[in-house]
């Protein structure tokens, strides 16, 4: 199929996308199957990406970031996701984990923490969901009690990507009364005594990406690790998720593009009744719809990213992008399996993995039902 045409804002961005593609081909494409089969997290690969500057792209250069607009960062994520979704998701989660300090930290906190968080050697995680509260984070029960020089944290967080392998965690916990107004955000070193990652979940896809609960048992976090003021944690969490949803949308586009590319190659090489199966309308039209949906998802994600870059409200557009792109990834990967027929159902071809991986994208960073709620409430206003 013809190469993807991208419109990038600068020559530097063009070079950055080329670099991302080179690293993805050299370090990711040939290793994904073995890591997924073993369920092994590719920590060294993430360090390689960090040393290349790909773990800090949308953050200020003065603190060690890449200083790139979000529309460029999203396209780098897309390239990585097309080779190995778990790695792209790891970059997205790390970028999300750096957001609270970068956006809501004091100048002193930014100077102290951001160079290390963005330096490429550390990996972050985001502790918001709980066992009884995924889509309702305002009902969280994990509590932090001020004990003079430290907050003492007790409770359990759930569905934490990078649990047990992250170097730092953003911990959202209750410091005040019930509801959103009682929630605060703390930055925790993963090695803090009392932070106890639990056994990994056994997931349908993304098996090289560790997901687990984290228990907090009298974990003491210094008071200077409070990000923002007490009671502003819910606002911080929701603002971070707006940007994180764009990251997941870009991952979904990259995954869907990979599935489309593979299905097109197969359909042009596979012959039945004396001609390539792409020449049959039943297959050709299916591929045409897949290609159109991927292009539409990419356009929606980049349009939201450009709003963010312009400093304009983008929350609703991020919800639309996450909703449409991840539903598209599920549909396109399912159709790719159908194009391959029986071969699509076996692990000799990657489309069965793509299909399993696409499912989680409809759930993380707010389920797609939550995205519809965000959009419908905006319409009602």
- Residues annotated as catalytic are 365
| Token reading at 156 | 């359990």
DSSP string, 12-30: HHHHHHHHHHHHIIIIITT
The count of C-alpha atoms lying within 13 angstroms of the C-alpha of 324, restricted to the half-sphere facing its C-beta, is: 20
> What is the end-to-end Cα distance of the chain in Å, rounded?
44
Q: For residue 73, give Cα distances in angstroms to 43, 336, 367.
A: 21, 27, 23
Structure token pair of residue 121: 């050697």
Extract the tokens encoding 50: 């960090």
d(CA 270, CA 278) in angstroms, rounded, equals 8
Closest by CA position to 129, among listed 89, 159, 98? 159
Burial 1-38 (b: 16+ CB within 10 A, else e): eeeeeeeeeeeebeebbeebeebbeebbeebbeebbee
Phi, psi of 163 (to 5 degrees): -55, 125
Cβ contact 183:237 at 8 Å: yes
Q: How far is CA 28 from CA 43, 147, 163, 196, in A?
A: 12, 46, 22, 30
Which run of H or E residues covers position 194?
A: none
Q: In this structure, are strands 168-174 and 124-127 parallel, antiparallel, or unpaired?
A: parallel
Instruction: Yes or no: say if 124 and 97 are a contact pair by the CB < 8 Å rule.
Output: yes
Beta-carbon contacts of 296 under 8 Å, excluding residues fewer than 6 positions away, are 324, 328
Helices assigned H by DSSP within 133-280: 233-269
């Amino acid at each position: 199929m013809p190469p993807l045409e991208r419109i990038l804002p600068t020559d530097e961005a063009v070079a950055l996308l080329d670099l991302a593609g080179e690293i993805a081909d050299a370090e990711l494409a040939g290793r994904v199957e073995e890591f997924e089969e073993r369920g092994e997290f590719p920590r060294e690969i993430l360090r390689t990406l960090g040393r290349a500057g790909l773990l800090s792209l949308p953050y200020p250069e003065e603190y060690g970031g890449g200083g790139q607009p979000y529309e460029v960062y999203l396209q780098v994520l897309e390239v990585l996701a097309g080779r190995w979704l778990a790695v792209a998701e790891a970059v997205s989660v790390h970028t999300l984990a750096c957001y609270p300090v970068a956006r809501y930290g004091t100048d002193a906190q930014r100077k102290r923490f951001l160079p290390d968080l963005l330096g490429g050697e550390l990996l972050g995680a985001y502790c918001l969901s709980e066992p009884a509260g995924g889509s309702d984070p305002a009902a969280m029960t994990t509590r932090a009690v001020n004990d003079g020089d430290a907050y003492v944290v007790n409770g359990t967080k759930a569905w934490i990507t990078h649990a047990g392998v992250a170097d730092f965690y953003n911990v959202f916990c209750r410091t005040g009364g019930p509801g959103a107004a009682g929630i605060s955000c703390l930055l925790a070193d993963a090695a803090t005594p009392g932070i106890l990652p639990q056994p990994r979940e056994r997931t349908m896809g993304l098996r090289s990406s560790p997901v687990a609960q984290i228990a907090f048992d009298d974990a003491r976090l210094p008071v200077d690790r409070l990000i923002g003021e007490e009671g502003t944690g819910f606002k911080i969490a929701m603002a971070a998720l707006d940007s994180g949803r764009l990251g997941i949308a870009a991952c979904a586009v990259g995954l869907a593009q990979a599935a489309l590319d593979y299905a097109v190659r197969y359909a042009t090489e596979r012959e039945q009744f004396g001609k390539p199966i792409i020449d049959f309308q039943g297959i050709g039209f299916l591929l045409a719809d897949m290609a159109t949906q991927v292009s539409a998802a990419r356009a929606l994600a980049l349009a939201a990213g450009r709003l963010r870059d312009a400093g304009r409200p983008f929350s609703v557009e991020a919800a639309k992008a996450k909703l449409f792109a991840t539903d598209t990834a599920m549909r396109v990967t399912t159709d790719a399996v159908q194009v391959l027929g029986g071969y699509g159902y076996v692990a000799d071809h990657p489309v069965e993995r793509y299909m399993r991986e696409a499912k989680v994208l409809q759930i993380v960073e707010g389920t797609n039902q939550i995205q519809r709620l965000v959009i419908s409430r905006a319409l009602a206003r």
